[in-house]
Every structure is written in structure tokens, then in C-alpha cells.
């Protein structure tokens, strides 16, 4: 009590109070010390310090009591009532009292705050909020100690709870909300109970999944209306209840459904309104439901009856009624709808009525209903009606075709259209009718043929299996046949009588109708026959008896055979008349001497005899005449005199006649022979003879004429002789003149020859020379005395002749004019002639001749002709002379030319020689060239051979590679499914496999993976060997490589109890340029080998710089720096003789079947090849039993050049792109780009059907056509095509392939064409066949056009446009 002490010090220290005085104070203090804070009765009043002490003690008590009370209260509040926010109230005390209360409150705050925070978190957890955490700081300070642990625990709990709930929630969401049953919560990070709980949740989810799926199946079945299913899955507890409930529900539902179905059937199907559902044993909602159903049924009943009234009215065709019954909700809607429906129905009915009227009444097939503004079922209905109309149209047309055929009597056609229901019945009926009709017709035909054609009366039609009208018909026919038979027989009797000539009989049988007519007709016939007989009798009498030819029977009112008969009689009369008249004509002709005529009229009997007699007579006459004619001809025409006519068998007049003819012939012979004698004389040149036989008449004339002729002949012969002379001399002298060139010689020759020829004794020839005539030649010319050498033109007779160019003849030349002298004497000539010699108009000369005798006419003629010839000759000679001069000149010139030419030739020869030399040199060159060419060719051939070999090698290598690649692919493919399925199994997704089975599945998967690795190895090896492995060099840090190796192999080595060491020796370059993947692969191979073959000890990889002396490869030796990767082990080692072998593919040091280590032995082979690819090499040092060291040397700088690499193969064709088979589907299509969108006026929006079994072709065509906005349908074969077409009548065009299985293109086209509605549908045939007849075949099958494969798209589009436009136009 320090305060008390302090108080005491201020007080009076002197003891004033007794112990008794202090007693209450001590008591109070004792109470205070003992914790008794109760208020006690006030002690007797004291005073002074005692009182003050008492007051203080009491105040202390009060404060302690308050504090105590507060503590007790707070404890009670906190512990009993849980109000932890309760705090101590500040008492009256100050200082430590207050501090103590504050401390207590602070402590409480800390504790409750923490627990409140935890409580908040827990509350949040309780409220499902797992995001809240306990703050790890309190009052700005980090929590410590137990509180921190608690807070962390709570937070951990919240986290786990969170994770758990999220897992579970996810599962629950998947299972519960999203319905993805089968989801499982992940157990990751869970432990303890949470793990258990999660597992439990998973189990629950699994079980729930199974149960829910089962229940779902059942409920789905229920939902789908299948009430037979029951939940069968095993379940317990509530689910079991649920299951039972569901099953019960299904049962009740079933019962309920049955009942409701019954009611519904009664009400709905059977129309028994008023029915009530009666479900026993249900309660609760089912009962309500049943009641409701019943209620509904009754309500519905009344409403439905209201609606039914309307509907009945509608059904009866009364569309004016409307529903007026009160209704609500859906029924109201129904009512409105029904009313609307009635309206629409009305419109629809009108339209349908119209169509029906058009189609049904007016027969306008093909009409289509058009109801606007309807949708849904009405639209469908309208469509259906239209469809029905179309179908009906088609069917009716087909039936019409058949019935038309029946009407035209063609009973072979049948209805083939597809139909159903009544139409089908109709179709069957019509077909049956056609059959029946056919049978009936056959039978009736048979009866008709028997009765009508074959005359078998009494035949009866026997049609089996007919009834009704057909039976009646058959009986009628039979009846008719019987009646006809009776009547016909009666008629036959009369006809027989008529046939026997009895025309008195008449038919008296009872008959009606046509038969009556026949009877009357027959009777009439008998009458007419009578009349006819009379008339014929008359004509016969007139013609036959009275000889009045030309008479004609005239039977009036007859027709048919009677008319024919009458005409026959008349014909006969006419014939007879004709015959008689013909005979008369012939006899008349004979009478007129015409023996060529014969009777040619057809005749028979007696008339024939008469005709024959007359014709025989004519023949006899004819033969006589011909004999006489022959004699006359022999004698007269052929000159065979002495011929005698011999007519045998004639007598009388004819004999006499013959004798006269013979006499005449002998007379003629005598005369003619006399004439012949004279003629013979004349013929042998004797013209002196004359005919002197006596003759008369014409023969005398002949004689005179012959004599005259002989005289004439004589005269003519003389004239001829003169002419002969003239011509002869002319020719002779002319001949002499020819060949002479000299004019003088010719002139002399002329004078010499001419003068004696004409008997002249003097001759002179003057030739014209300038304007003068000069004597050039003479004959018997006196020497100089008489005659002059020259004359001017116009001078003397010679000159006169020259001027006139006319000859002058002088007779009786006076004496002394001229003398012709000879050695014996001289005398003047009697005649002189002077003649000009002229060529054309040019005077050439004059010739003068003189004779003693005189010149006859012949001589004058001769002169005239000769002077002409002479003119020609002389002129020719003159011309020749001139020509000769010219020739000489020309020859001179030619000679000169010749000389020059010689000179030229000489020069040319020289040139030619030098030319030849050049040519020889050129030939030599050519020869050398040829030799070089041959060598080149040989080289080329050798090169080509080499190339071929190389190619063959490449091909075979490629085949091998491809084979292996394919093989490994083929091996992989089955492995794929194996691996996938094994993986799936090993995951045990459904949780229904045992651990053992999962283990098996895992083993399968692992083995498969190993196998896959092996196949990959083979493929790798193959790729390296084929040069197909690509190398991608890149800078590479060695440290990274070491990390990789360490991470990969250390665990393996440690597993096997081996030491493992990887290090880089100092001085090794840090970077390397190589292909990282490949390098890793090699190191992997080497290291795994090392680990595999080492039992104990260690495996190490040392990377260091290497010296070029260690390597063998020249490329590597030339490298600037080398890196060696040395893999050493302490394993079994390899003996010397196996060191090379291990690098061969599929080889191991121990390759026996009992070998210890597995593996394929591919690793080293691949490694060595890859090392080579990387410009490196692998070397090995090994001792059996001690270990091996494999060293991989690589250049630091890899330049990508592969040493000794196999030559890369020419790029092999991709194995998948097998040789294209068949015909390219489309040409003209850009290969890598689909056609852009086009809109085409004609094509866009049209529907086209492609019928083709080649789906690629279809796809390509579809792509193109859809590009043009067309709607493409597709059918795989002909039948499918027809079906598609029937369901899509709006197809505008069909593209049809020819070659299809089943119905081919032609058959399909033909089948489509048979359907009337597709008669005009454009069908374009597409075929790969390019035969000549294809087009014809296509068009014959009914196709519109023809497009050959491969299809040229532009062409096809053009064709399609054409046809679509055509149909558009026709529409």
C-alpha cells in the first residue's frame, strides 16, 4: 500500500488512536486482503485519520468490488451468453485501476478480435464464402505464436476447403448443372480426410452418375413416352427411395397414362366425348391430375363439342360457321385459331375447289392452287394439294393414256404409275378391267371369228371369272349368236333356193332390226333377181338371136352384186360385139392386102375357132406372099437370077400365080445377063461394047441408059488422060526444078524441059531485073539474029505481057516473024505464046514459046498452072540466094564468137581446177568433223548409259526407301490404334478395371511405345542412308548440352547403381555449330549403350578439344578446330574383331540367340551416319571386360557440307499421289483456287440435279455450279435420280452421267422422259466415251444435249445456259 504510506507521512505521527480504534480499519483491510469486497455495515463513526483510513479502505473495496464485479460480469457474458464483445466498464478508479481495466479489455480485444476474425472466416466458410482469410496481422503487428499458428491453420483449412469445394463444385457442376456425368474431382494436393472426402465425392459422383444415368435413361424413356422401363441400378438410401419412387412413378404414370390414354383415345380418337379417367390407388397430385384430366376432359368435351359443331360444319363443307362457345386461355386461342382456320380454310377451300374444279370437273390437269398468306400446315396442305394435283395429274394422265389406249382398242397397255390408296385401287381396277376386257375381247373375237369368218354357227363365248355386266355381255353375245344362227340358217335356205335358180322362195322367218332389214333385202333381192333374169334374157335374145350387136341390159334399181351381174351381162354383150367387130376388121384388112393383122381379141369357144380359122388363112396368105417376095428379092435385090418360087401345098389360083412369077423371073434373067456382059466389058476397060438385046419397057430404057453411060465413060476417060498428062508433067518439071539454087541453071532447065513437053520448038525465058526483062535462057534459040536480049516493060509483046501480067497467044504467025531452024531446015512457027511469070503480085519474068502445031487447051491449062509453080520456084531461089548471103555473114560472126568463147573456156577450166583443190580440203575437214562427231556421240551414249544406270540405282534405292518408309508407316498405323486404345484402357476412365488389368494395359502401351521407337529408328536409318535427313546447323552452347545430358542420364545411371560424370575440359570452345537435335540423338545413343552394357563402375562423358591427328576423315582433318565427345564406361567391352561390326545396322557384338543384351543394334549405325552428316566421325577404343570409350569428333564450325554423303536422290514422287487413274475430272478449272462467286442471270438460283456415281466428279461440278449460285442436288445412281426428281419437281436441269451401275444414263433419261411432267426437262448427258455414236445414242434416249468428258467447264456452262434459256422462253 504505497499510497497509504504516503498518506501517513503527511499525518500527525503521534499515536492518537487506540488499537480498538484501528480495529475496524484492520478488519476492513483484512477483508480487502482476503478478497471480500462485500459492503459491510458501517463501523461506528470514527474520526480523523481513522475515518479517512476507513473511507480509503472502503474506496479501495469499492474499486476492487467494481473490478471484480466487472470481471465476473464479463466472464458471465462471455462464457455464458457468448457475447464476446462485452468489456469491462471503467470503474471509479484511476491510475493502475484504469490501466488494469484497459489491459484486461485490450487482452479481451486481442483474444476476441482474433477469434472474431477467425469466427468471421469460419462464418464466411459456413456461409459458403471461401474467399475470406484470417488476417495474419493484428493491430498493425504480425501475429505470433499460437495465434499465428491458429490463423494459419484456419487459412489452410479454408484453402483446402476452397480447393476441395472447387473440385467438388466443378464435379458437382459438371454432374449436376451441366449434366456432364462422369466428371471426377482431382485428388491433387489433397490429403487426409480431404482426400477421403474427395474420393468419396468421386465415388459418389461415379455412383450418382451411374444411378442418374440409369434414372435418366428411364426418365428419358418416360419423356419419350416409353413407360415400360424401370430403374434397375443398384442404389441405397435415398437414391434407393428415389429409384423406388421413380419406378413407382413410372408404374403410376403408366397406369395414369393408360387411363388418360384411354380417355384420350375415347375422346380423341374414338370421339366418345364425356369419357372420364378412372385411376385407382393414386393420391395426391396424381389424383388431382386425374381429376384435372377428367375436368379437362369434360371442359374440353363441351368446348370440343362447340368446336366440333364448327368443325362438323367445316367438315360438311359449311365454312360460314364460327365458334361462339366461351373459352379461355389456350382454348380461346384455339377458338380464335379455329375461326382463323375456318377463314383460311375458306380461302384455301376456294383455291382447292378451284384447282379441284379445274382438275376434276373441267379436266384442266396441271392446275396449281395458290393460297397466299398461309403458312405452316396450310402451306404444307396447299403444297400437298398441289403435290396431290400433280400426282393426280400424272396418275390421271397415265390412267387416261391407258383408258385412251383401251378406247382405241389397244388392250396391251397398263397403268405403270406409282400410286397409293384409292388411286392404287383404281389403278388395279383399271388394270384388272383391262385384263378382263382383254379376255372378254379375245373370247368375243373368237366367237365372232368362228361365226363371222369361219362360218361355224352355233359357237358360244365362254368367258370365265367374269361377273356383272361382263357376264351379261357374254350372255348377250351368246344369245345374239344363237338368234343370228337361226335367222342366218333361214336366210341360207332362201339363198340356197336362189342359188338353185328358184326365185320364187321368200324368207318368212321372224326377225327384227337389221336382220329384218336383211330379210327384206333378201326378199327384194329375189325380186330384183327375177327382174334381172328377165332383162338378161332380153339382151341375150337381141344379141344372140337377132344379131343386134351393142344391145345393153338395163336393170334399174339394182345395186351391189346385181349391178355387177348386169354389168357382167353387158360386159359380155360388149365383149361379143368387140370380138365380132375385130374379126370383121381382120378380114377387111386381108381383103385390103394387109396380111399383118391378126385377130387378137380374147375369145373362147366357137368364136375362138372362128378366130383360129381366120388367123390360119391369114398365115397361109402370108407365107405365099413371103415366098413370092423371097424370089423377088433374090432376083431383084440380091441378083441371084434363076431363082424360082416354091410354094408348097397351094393349088388353084395360088399355083397359077406362082408359075407367072417364075416366068417373069426367067425373062428378067436373060435381059439382065446381057446388060451384065456389057458392064463387065466396061469394067475391064473395054468401052466399045454396046447392049443389043431386045427389051421393052423399063428394061429397054435400062439398055439405052447403059449404052449412053458407056459413051460418056469413054469421053471422060479421054479428059482424064489429058489431065493426067498435065499433072504428070507439072509434077515432073517441078520435081526437076527442086534442089537448084542457081537461077540461071533453073531458067535453062525450065526452058529445056517445058519446050519439048508442050511440043514447042522455040522457047525463051526473060527474067525481070530492075525494070527490065533480060533473056536468060533459051531453047532452039537462033543465034542472035532474031529476038532481042532485053525488053523494057511495055516494050513489045514481052514488055506488054510483063505490064499486063496476062498471057498473049498469037495464032497463025506471019512468015518472017520467027524461024525455027534445024540442021535440015527452018520454018516459021504456027503459034507463039508469051506468058508472065508472077509470084504473088511481083513479076519475075516472061516466057515465050513457039510451035509449029499449036497449043491445045490442055497446053494452055498446063502453062497457067506451070507459070504459077515456076513463079514460086524462082522466087524461092531468089530468096534462097539472099538467105545464103546472110548465112555467110552470120557464120563469120559465129566464128569470131567461137574464138572468144574458147578463151573464156580456158579461163574457166583454170578456175575449176583451183575450186576442186578447195573442195578436197573441205572434204578433209568434214571427215575430221565427222570423226569428232562420232566420238562425241559415243561419249554422249556412254554418258547416257551412265545416267541410266545412275537413275536405275537411284530408283532402286528409292524403292527400297519408299518400301521401308511405307513399311514403317504400315507398322505404325496398326500401332496407333493399339497405343491409343491401350492408353485409354490404362487410364481406366470408367473405373471398372482391376489394378492388374490396368497394369496389363500399361504394359501393352509401353511395349507399343518401344516398338514405335524401333520403327522410328529404322525410319531414321533409312532416311540417313537415303540422304533424306535434313541437318539444321545452328550455334550451340556446350554447357546446355551438358545440362541436357546430365538431366537425362544421371537418373538412369543412379538407378543402375553407376557413377555418372559429365565435364568439359578447360580449353574447349564454349560454342559449337551443329544440329542440336542430331547431336543429342547421337549422344543419347552412345550414353544409353554405355549405361546398358555397364554392370558396375561408372559412365562418363568428357568434352574436350581434339587434335586432327586422331581422326581419319579428310574433311575433319581439314577442319580448323575439333571437339571430341568421349563416352567412357567400365562395362563389358568389345573384342577387337567385333569393333567394325557393331557399326553395321542390326549388328551387335553378341548377335547370338542367347545374347545377354537386347536391342536392335541400330543405334550405333544411326549414330555413325548422323555423325557423318554432321561432318564428324565416331571412333571406338575398347577392351573386353574393362570397358569402352566411344569418341565423337565434330568440327567446331560446321559448314553444312556433308562429306562422303550419299548423293541426294531426285525428289521421289509422293507415295500417296499415286498415278492418276481415269480421266481428269475437270479441265479449265484453276487448280489451286476455287472459282470466285459469280452471279449469272440464267444460272443463279436454279436447281440442278447431278446423277453420277463418281463422287469426285460430282463434288467438282457442285463446287463450280454452287460458285454460280446454283442449288445442286445429287443422286448416286439412276433410280435415286428419278426419286430425287419426283420429290423436287422444281429441278430445272439434269446432268446425267452415262456409265453408272444399275440403271445407266441412257435408261434413266428414257425413264424420266416417260413421265409426262418431265417431258421438257433439259437433260444433259456427260460421258467419257468419245465414240462417234454417243451423241446419237444420247439424243435417241431423249437427252437434250451431250457434253464429253473431260468436261470443259465453260462449254458445260454454255450448254446449260442455252437449255435453261430455252425452257425459260418456252415458259
Partner 1 sequence: MTDRLNEKVKILLVDDREENLIALEAILSSLDQDLVRARSGEEALKALLTDEYAVILLDVVMPGMDGFETARDIKRRKRTRDVPIIFLTAVNSDPDYAFRGYQAGAVDFISKPFDPWVLRAKVSVFVELHNKNRQLERQAAQLREQAALLRGRLGDEGRAGR
Q: Say if CB 126 and CB 158 are below 8 A apart.
A: no
* Smaller CB separation from partner 1, 2 or 1230: 1230
* Smaller CB separation from partner 1, 179 or 642: 179
* Smaller CB separation from partner 1, 140 or 1230: 1230
* Smaller CB separation from partner 1, 703 or 1005: 1005
Least distance from partner 1 to the Cβ atom of residue 961, Å? 11
Measured distance CA(1103)–CA(1123) in Å, rounded: 7
Buried b (16+ CB within 10 A) or exposed e, 415-441: bebebeeebeebbeebbebbebbebbb
* Smaller CB separation from partner 1, 793 or 1260: 1260
Closest C-alpha to 871, from 767, 757, 774: 767
Least distance from partner 1 to the Cβ atom of residue 979, Å? 4
Retrieve residue 938's grid coordinates: 559415243
Least distance from partner 1 to the Cβ atom of residue 1320, Å? 27
Least distance from partner 1 to the Cβ atom of residue 972, Å? 4
| SS3 state of residue 1324 | strand
Measured distance CA(69)–CA(56) in Å, rounded: 19
Q: Say if CB 571 and CB 590 are below 8 A apart.
A: no
Measured distance CA(301)–CA(295) in Å, rounded: 9
Long-range contacts of 710-715 (CB under 8 A, 24+ apart): 710/678, 710/682, 713/682, 713/687, 714/687
* Smaller CB separation from partner 1, 786 or 1266: 1266
| SS3 state of residue 540 | helix
Measured distance CA(1175)–CA(1173) in Å, rounded: 5
* Smaller CB separation from partner 1, 114 or 1167: 1167
Q: Say if CB 1251 and CB 1278 are below 8 A apart.
A: yes
Burial class of residue 113, CB neighbours in 10 A (0-12, 13-18, 19+)? middle
Measured distance CA(1067)–CA(1278) in Å, rounded: 83
Long-range contacts of 1361-1365 (CB under 8 A, 24+ apart): 1361/1240, 1361/1242, 1361/1243, 1363/1293, 1363/1322, 1363/1324, 1364/1242, 1364/1243, 1364/1246, 1364/1292, 1364/1293, 1364/1322, 1365/1242
Retrieve residue 166's grid coordinates: 472447387
Least distance from partner 1 to the Cβ atom of residue 347, Å? 23
Contact footprint for partner 1 (CB under 8 A):
178-179, 182, 965, 969, 972-977, 979-981, 983-984, 1008, 1012, 1016, 1019-1020, 1023, 1030, 1214-1218, 1232, 1234, 1237, 1255-1256, 1258-1260, 1262-1263, 1266-1267, 1274, 1276
Least distance from partner 1 to the Cβ atom of residue 1216, Å? 4
Instruction: Write out the DSSP string of 658-722.
Output: HHHHHHHHHHHHHHHHHHHHHHHHHHTT-----------HHHHHHHHHHHHHHHHHHHHHHHHHH
* Smaller CB separation from partner 1, 365 or 971: 971
Pairing relationship of beta strands 762-769 and 772-779 according to DSSP bridges:
antiparallel
Q: Which residue spans within 948-1050 are E strands per DSSP? A: 1034-1037
Q: Which residue spans within 72-221 are E strands per DSSP? A: 137-138, 141-142
* Smaller CB separation from partner 1, 826 or 980: 980
* Smaller CB separation from partner 1, 661 or 975: 975
| Omega before residue 1350 within 30° of 0, cis | yes
* Smaller CB separation from partner 1, 983 or 1247: 983
Burial class of residue 1198, CB neighbours in 10 A (0-12, 13-18, 19+)? buried
Least distance from partner 1 to the Cβ atom of residue 1166, Å? 13
* Smaller CB separation from partner 1, 983 or 1050: 983
Least distance from partner 1 to the Cβ atom of residue 977, Å? 4
* Smaller CB separation from partner 1, 979 or 1087: 979
How far the first Cα of the chain sits from its last, in Å, is: 129
* Smaller CB separation from partner 1, 321 or 1023: 1023
Please give the helix or strand (H or E) that residue 994 lies within, else none: none
Least distance from partner 1 to the Cβ atom of residue 352, Å? 31
* Smaller CB separation from partner 1, 898 or 1216: 1216
* Smaller CB separation from partner 1, 533 or 967: 967
Burial class of residue 762, CB neighbours in 10 A (0-12, 13-18, 19+)? buried
Q: Which residues pair with 778 in a beta bridge?
A: 764
Least distance from partner 1 to the Cβ atom of residue 1355, Å? 19
Least distance from partner 1 to the Cβ atom of residue 1022, Å? 10
Buried b (16+ CB within 10 A) or exposed e, 56-90: bbbebbebbbbbeebeeebeeebeeeeebebbbee
* Smaller CB separation from partner 1, 437 or 998: 998
Least distance from partner 1 to the Cβ atom of residue 1141, Å? 27
Least distance from partner 1 to the Cβ atom of residue 1217, Å? 7
DSSP 175: I
Least distance from partner 1 to the Cβ atom of residue 319, Å? 31
Least distance from partner 1 to the Cβ atom of residue 1258, Å? 7
* Smaller CB separation from partner 1, 273 or 971: 971
Retrieve residue 1257's grid coordinates: 466428279
Least distance from partner 1 to the Cβ atom of residue 947, Å? 26
Least distance from partner 1 to the Cβ atom of residue 1264, Å? 9
Q: Say if CB 1164 and CB 1182 are below 8 A apart.
A: no
Least distance from partner 1 to the Cβ atom of residue 1094, Å? 31
550 φ/ψ angles, rounded to the nearest 5 degrees: 90, 0
Q: Which residues pair with 285 in a beta bridge?
A: none
Amino acid at each position: 500500500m504505497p499510497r497509504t504510506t504516503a498518506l501517513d507521512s503527511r499525518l500527525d505521527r503521534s499515536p492518537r488512536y487506540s488499537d480498538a480504534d484501528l480495529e475496524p480499519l484492520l478488519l476492513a483491510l483484512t477483508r480487502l486482503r482476503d478478497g471480500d469486497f462485500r459492503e459491510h455495515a458501517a463501523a461506528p463513526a470514527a474520526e480523523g485519520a481513522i475515518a479517512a483510513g476507513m473511507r480509503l479502505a472502503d474506496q479501495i473495496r469499492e474499486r476492487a468490488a467494481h473490478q471484480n464485479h466487472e470481471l465476473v460480469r464479463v466472464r458471465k457474458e462471455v462464457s455464458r451468453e457468448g457475447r464476446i464483445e462485452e468489456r469491462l466498464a471503467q470503474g471509479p478508479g484511476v491510475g493502475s485501476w484504469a490501466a488494469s481495466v484497459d489491459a484486461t479489455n485490450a487482452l479481451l480485444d486481442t483474444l476476441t478480435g482474433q477469434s472474431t476474425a477467425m469466427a468471421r472466416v469460419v462464418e464466411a466458410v459456413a456461409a459458403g464464402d471461401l474467399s475470406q482469410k484470417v488476417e495474419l496481422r493484428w493491430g498493425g503487428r504480425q501475429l505470433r505464436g499460437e495465434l499465428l499458428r491458429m490463423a494459419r491453420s484456419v487459412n489452410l483449412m479454408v484453402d483446402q476447403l476452397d480447393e476441395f469445394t472447387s473440385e467438388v463444385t466443378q464435379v458437382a457442376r459438371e454432374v449436376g448443372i451441366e449434366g456432364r456425368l462422369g466428371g471426377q474431382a482431382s485428388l491433387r494436393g489433397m490429403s487426409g480426410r480431404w482426400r477421403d472426402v474427395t474420393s468419396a465425392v468421386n465415388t459418389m459422383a461415379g455412383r450418382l452418375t451411374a444411378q442418374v444415368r440409369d434414372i435418366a435413361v428411364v426418365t428419358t424413356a418416360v419423356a419419350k413416352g416409353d413407360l415400360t422401363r424401370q430403374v434397375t441400378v443398384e442404389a441405397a438410401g435415398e437414391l434407393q427411395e428415389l429409384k423406388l419412387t421413380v419406378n413407382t412413378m413410372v408404374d403410376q404414370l403408366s397406369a395414369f397414362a393408360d387411363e388418360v390414354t384411354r380417355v384420350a383415345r375415347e375422346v380423341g380418337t374414338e370421339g366418345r366425348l364425356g369419357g372420364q379417367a378412372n385411376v385407382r390407388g393414386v393420391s395426391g397430385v396424381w389424383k388431382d391430375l386425374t381429376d384435372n384430366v377428367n375436368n379437362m376432359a369434360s371442359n374440353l368435351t363441351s368446348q370440343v363439342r362447340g368446336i366440333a359443331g364448327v368443325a362438323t360444319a367445316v367438315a360438311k363443307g359449311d365454312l360460314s360457321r364460327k365458334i361462339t362457345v366461351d373459352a379461355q386461355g389456350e382454348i380461346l386461342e384455339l377458338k380464335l385459331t379455329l375461326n382463323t382456320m375456318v377463314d383460311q380454310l375458306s380461302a384455301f377451300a376456294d383455291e382447292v375447289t378451284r384447282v379441284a374444279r379445274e382438275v376434276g370437273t373441267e379436266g384442266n390437269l396441271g392446275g396449281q392452287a395458290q393460297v397466299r398468306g398461309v403458312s405452316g400446315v396450310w402451306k404444307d396442305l396447299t403444297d400437298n394439294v398441289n403435290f396431290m394435283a400433280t400426282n393426280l395429274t400424272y396418275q390421271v394422265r397415265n390412267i387416261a393414256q391407258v383408258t385412251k389406249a383401251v378406247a382405241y382398242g389397244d388392250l396391251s397397255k397398263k397403268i405403270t404409275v406409282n400410286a397409293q390408296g384409292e388411286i392404287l385401287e383404281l389403278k388395279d381396277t383399271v388394270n384388272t378391267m383391262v385384263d378382263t376386257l382383254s379376255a372378254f375381247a379375245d373370247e368375243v373375237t373368237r366367237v365372232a371369228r368362228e361365226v363371222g369368218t369361219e362360218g361355224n354357227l352355233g359357237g358360244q363365248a365362254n368367258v370365265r371369272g367374269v361377273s356383272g355386266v361382263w357376264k351379261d355381255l357374254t350372255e348377250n353375245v351368246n344369245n345374239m349368236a344363237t338368234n343370228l344362227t337361226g335367222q342366218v340358217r333361214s336366210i341360207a335356205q332362201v339363198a340356197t333356193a336362189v342359188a338353185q335358180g328358184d326365185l320364187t322362195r321368200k324368207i318368212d322367218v321372224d326377225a327384227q332390226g337389221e336382220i329384218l332389214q336383211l330379210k327384206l333385202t333378201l326378199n327384194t333381192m329375189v325380186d330384183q333377181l327375177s327382174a334381172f333374169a328377165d332383162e338378161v334374157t332380153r339382151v341375150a335374145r337381141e344379141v344372140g338371136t337377132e344379131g343386134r350387136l351393142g344391145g345393153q341390159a338395163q336393170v334399174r334399181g339394182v345395186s351391189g352384186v346385181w349391178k355387177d351381174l348386169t354389168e357382167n351381162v353387158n360386159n359380155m354383150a360388149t365383149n361379143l360385139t368387140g370380138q365380132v367387130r375385130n374379126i370383121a376388121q381382120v378380114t377387111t384388112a386381108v381383103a385390103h392386102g394387109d396380111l399383118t393383122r391378126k385377130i387378137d381379141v380374147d375369145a373362147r369357144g366357137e368364136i375362138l375357132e372362128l378366130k383360129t380359122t381366120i388367123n390360119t388363112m391369114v398365115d397361109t396368105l402370108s407365107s405365099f406372099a413371103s415366098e413370092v417376095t423371097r424370089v423377088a428379092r433374090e432376083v431383084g435385090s440380091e441378083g441371084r437370077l434363076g431363082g424360082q418360087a416354091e410354094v408348097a401345098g397351094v393349088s388353084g389360083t395360088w399355083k397359077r400365080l406362082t408359075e407367072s412369077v417364075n416366068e417373069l423371073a426367067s425373062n428378067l434373067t436373060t435381059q439382065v445377063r446381057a446388060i451384065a456382059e456389057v458392064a463387065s466389058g466396061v469394067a475391064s476397060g473395054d468401052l466399045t461394047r454396046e447392049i443389043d438385046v431386045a427389051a421393052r419397057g423399063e428394061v429397054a430404057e435400062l439398055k439405052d441408059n447403059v449404052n449412053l453411060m458407056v459413051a460418056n465413060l469413054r469421053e471422060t476417060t479421054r479428059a482424064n488422060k489429058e489431065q493426067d498428062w498435065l499433072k504428070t508433067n507439072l509434077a515432073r518439071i517441078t520435081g526437076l526444078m527442086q534442089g537448084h539454087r542457081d537461077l540461071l541453071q533453073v531458067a535453062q532447065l525450065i526452058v529445056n524441059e517445058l519446050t519439048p513437053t508442050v511440043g514447042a520448038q522455040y522457047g525463051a525465058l526473060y527474067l525481070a531485073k530492075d525494070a527490065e526483062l533480060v533473056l536468060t535462057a533459051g531453047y532452039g534459040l537462033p543465034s542472035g539474029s532474031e529476038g532481042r536480049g532485053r525488053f523494057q516493060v511495055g516494050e513489045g509483046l514481052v514488055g506488054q505481057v510483063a505490064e499486063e501480067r496476062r498471057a498473049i497467044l498469037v495464032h497463025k504467025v506471019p512468015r518472017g516473024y520467027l524461024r525455027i531452024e534445024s540442021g535440015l531446015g527452018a520454018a516459021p512457027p504456027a503459034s507463039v505464046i508469051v506468058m508472065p511469070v508472077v509470084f504473088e503480085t511481083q513479076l519475075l519474068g516472061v516466057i515465050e514459046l513457039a510451035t509449029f502445031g499449036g497449043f491445045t487447051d490442055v497446053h494452055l491449062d498446063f502453062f497457067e498452072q506451070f507459070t504459077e509453080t515456076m513463079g514460086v520456084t524462082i522466087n524461092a531461089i531468089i530468096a534462097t540466094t539472099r538467105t545464103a548471103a546472110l548465112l555467110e555473114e552470120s557464120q563469120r560472126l559465129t566464128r569470131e564468137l567461137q574464138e572468144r568463147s574458147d578463151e573464156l573456156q580456158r579461163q574457166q577450166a583454170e578456175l575449176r581446177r583451183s575450186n576442186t583443190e578447195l573442195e578436197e580440203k573441205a572434204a578433209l575437214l568434214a571427215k575430221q568433223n565427222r570423226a569428232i562427231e562420232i566420238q562425241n556421240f559415243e561419249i554422249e551414249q556412254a554418258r547416257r548409259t551412265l545416267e541410266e544406270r545412275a537413275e536405275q540405282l537411284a530408283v532402286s534405292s528409292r524403292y527400297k526407301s519408299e518400301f521401308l518408309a511405307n513399311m514403317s508407316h504400315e507398322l505404325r498405323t496398326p500401332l496407333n490404334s493399339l497405343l491409343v486404345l491401350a492408353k485409354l484402357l490404362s487410364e481406366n476412365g470408367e473405373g471398372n478395371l482391376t489394378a492388374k488389368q490396368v497394369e496389363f494395359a500399361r504394359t501393352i502401351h509401353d511395349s507399343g511405345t518401344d516398338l514405335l521407337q524401333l520403327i522410328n529408328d529404322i525410319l531414321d536409318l533409312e532416311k540417313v542412308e537415303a540422304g533424306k535427313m535434313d541437318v539444321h546447323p545452328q550455334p550451340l552452347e556446350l554447357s546446355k548440352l551438358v545440362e541436357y545430358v546430365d538431366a537425362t542420364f544421371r537418373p538412369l545411371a543412379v538407378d543402375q547403381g553407376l557413377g555418372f560424370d559429365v565435364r568439359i575440359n578447360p580449353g574447349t570452345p564454349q560454342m559449337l555449330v551443329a544440329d542440336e537435335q542430331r547431336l543429342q540423338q547421337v549422344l543419347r545413343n552412345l550414353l544409353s549403350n554405355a549405361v546398358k552394357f555397364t554392370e558396375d563402375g561408372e559412365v562418363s562423358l568428357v568434352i574436350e578439344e581434339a587434335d586432327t591427328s586422331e581422326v581419319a576423315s579428310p574433311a575433319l582433318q581439314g577442319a580448323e578446330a575439333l571437339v571430341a565427345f568421349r563416352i567412357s564406361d567400365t562395362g563389358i567391352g568389345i573384342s577387337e574383331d567385333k569393333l567394325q561390326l557393331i557399326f553395321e545396322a542390326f549388328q551387335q557384338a553378341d548377335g547370338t540367340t542367347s545374347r545377354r543384351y537386347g536391342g536392335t543394334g541400330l543405334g550405333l549405325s544411326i549414330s555413325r551416319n548422323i555423325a557423318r552428316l554432321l561432318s564428324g566421325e565416331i571412333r571406338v577404343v575398347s577392351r573386353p571386360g574393362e570397358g569402352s570409350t566411344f569418341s565423337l569428333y565434330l568440327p567446331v564450325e560446321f559448314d553444312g557440307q556433308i562429306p562422303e554423303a550419299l548423293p541426294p536422290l531426285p525428289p521421289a514422287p509422293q507415295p500417296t499421289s499415286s498415278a492418276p487413274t481415269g480421266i481428269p475430272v475437270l479441265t479449265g478449272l484453276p487448280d489451286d483456287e476455287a472459282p470466285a462467286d459469280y452471279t449469272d442471270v440464267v444460272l443463279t438460283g436454279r436447281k440442278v440435279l447431278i446423277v453420277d456415281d463418281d463422287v469426285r466428279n460430282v463434288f467438282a461440278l457442285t463446287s463450280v455450279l454452287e460458285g454460280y449460285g446454283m442449288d445442286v442436288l445429287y443422286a448416286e445412281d439412276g433410280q435415286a435420280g428419278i426419286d430425287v426428281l419426283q420429290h423436287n419437281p422444281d429441278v430445272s436441269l439434269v446432268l446425267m452421267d452415262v456409265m453408272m451401275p444399275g440403271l445407266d444414263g441412257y435408261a434413266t433419261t428414257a425413264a424420266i422422259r416417260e413421265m409426262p411432267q418431265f417431258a421438257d426437262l433439259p437433260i444433259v448427258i456427260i460421258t467419257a466415251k468419245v465414240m462417234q455414236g454417243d451423241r446419237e445414242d444420247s439424243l435417241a434416249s431423249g437427252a437434250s444435249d451431250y457434253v464429253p468428258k473431260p468436261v470443259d467447264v465453260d462449254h458445260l456452262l454454255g450448254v446449260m445456259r442455252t437449255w435453261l434459256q430455252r425452257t425459260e422462253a418456252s415458259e
